[in-house]
Amino acid sequence: MPVDVQNMQKVFARPNSLTDAKSTYCPGCHHGILTRIIAQTIDELGIVERTIGIVPVGCAVFAYRWYRCDAIQAAHGRASAVATGVKRANPSLIVFSYQGDGDFASIGTAESIHAANRGENITVIFVNNQVYGMTGGEMAPTSLVGQKTTTTPQGRDPKLFGYPIRFSEMIAQLDAPVYVTRQALYDTKRIKEATKAIKKAFTNQVKERGYSLVEVLATCPTNWRMKPIDANKHVANVVEKTYRLGDLVNRG
């Protein structure tokens, strides 16, 4: 029997900037958590009326449905360039580019690096789940050594497919970025820290400090062939060994 909450105080609800659309992500997928955090950040900063979401090609291609703000769907890999165009056209807009690891760190390598190198005053959210989710679990540049994917069935052999690319570390070498951090969402503590990092990244843009990048280690239960809770543990116990969490640049 449902508990009567009539005379109780609501302490947590869906963020206002989140639409009512039902999420298309798989059960347990961290894209959903991240989407909620971004919507919550937009609420807290009161910027929904001037926020523009740039959505990639990949599992997040439907991300324009989740937020009550304008959004643009960008060609695969080009979201950081599209974000540049929007921001330069109208600097009063708050522009965030939401990209998966294939989008950001494979096909979009050049656009990603050069938007950062120009110090575009945008906020980039880079979701690293080490596979191509939407297309069926292929290897990504971020796939771990030995990771089995649908294009590395024997496990990723660095001699043939190279090593996991630490893209945030590459971006951190550039002079322009003001904030570069790697976060995760595999437990409540990480979720709270990631929320702080994302709020800082958006705040940097609101205060016109320059380019911020938040890489988020995320799960892909479907293509990892793991239960959501085990996928969370996998990030904590395995993935985090290759991708160190924490701030890499913090000049904001």
Partner 1 sequence: MGKRLLLRGNEVIAEAAIRAGCQCYFAYPITPQAELLQHMAVNMPRLGRTFIQAESELAAINMVYGAASAGVRTMTSSSSPGISLKQEGISYLAGSNLPAVIVNIVRGGPGLGDIAPSQCDYFQATKGGGHGDYHMIVLGPSTVPEAGQLTMLAFELADQYRTPVMLLADGMLGQMMEPVELPEPIEISSLPQKEWATNGAKGRDPNIILSFDLDPEVLKQMNLILQERYRQIEAKEVRYEETATGDADIAIVAYGTVARIVKTVIKMARAEGIKLGLFRPITLWPFPSQALKKLSEKVATVLTVEMSAGQMWEDVRLAIAERAETPFYGEMGGVIPTPQRILSEVKKHAG
Partner 2 sequence: MARGAVVIDRERCKGCGLCIAACPKKVLAFSSELNNSGYNVVHMEHPEDCIGCSFCALTCPDVAIEVYREEISV
Which positions touch partner 1 (CB under 8 A)?
48-52, 54, 61, 64, 67-75, 78, 81-90, 92-93, 110-111, 113-114, 118
**Ramachandran angles phi, psi of 142, nearest 5°:** -95, 0
Residue of 110, 146, 187, 244 interacting with partner 2 (CB under 8 A) = 187
154 contacts which partner out of partner 2, partner 1, none, CB within 5 to 8 A by kind?
none
Residue of 232, 235, 243, 249 interacting with partner 2 (CB under 8 A) = 232
Interhelix angle for 188-206 vs 30-45, to 10°?
A: 40
CA 44 vs CA 17, 50, 100, 124, 149: distances in Å:
10, 14, 25, 18, 39
**Ramachandran angles phi, psi of 128, nearest 5°:** -110, 100
Closest to partner 1 by CB, 87 vs 234, is 87
Q: Please, what is the minimum distance in Å from the beta carbon of residue 16 to partner 2?
A: 12
Tell me if 219 sits within 8 A of 235, measured CB to CB.
yes
Residue 145 makes contact with partner 2 by CB under 8 A: no
Q: Please, what is the minimum distance in Å from the beta carbon of residue 177 to partner 2?
A: 28
Closest to partner 2 by CB, 84 vs 195, is 195
Tell me if 194 sits within 8 A of 185, measured CB to CB.
yes
50 contacts which partner out of partner 1, partner 2, none, CB within 5 to 8 A by kind?
partner 1
The C-alpha R_g of the chain, in whole angstroms, comes to: 18
Place of tokens 């596979």: 131
Which of 96, 63, 53 minimizes the C-alpha distance to 205?
A: 96
Place of tokens 């955090």: 37
236 contacts which partner out of partner 1, partner 2, none, CB within 5 to 8 A by kind?
none
Place of tokens 């029997």: 1
Residue of 119, 155, 228, 252 interacting with partner 2 (CB under 8 A) = 228
Residue 225 makes contact with partner 2 by CB under 8 A: no
For binding to partner 2 (CB under 8 A), which residues are involved?
2-3, 5, 7-15, 18, 22-23, 25-33, 35-36, 185, 187-188, 191-192, 221, 227-229, 232
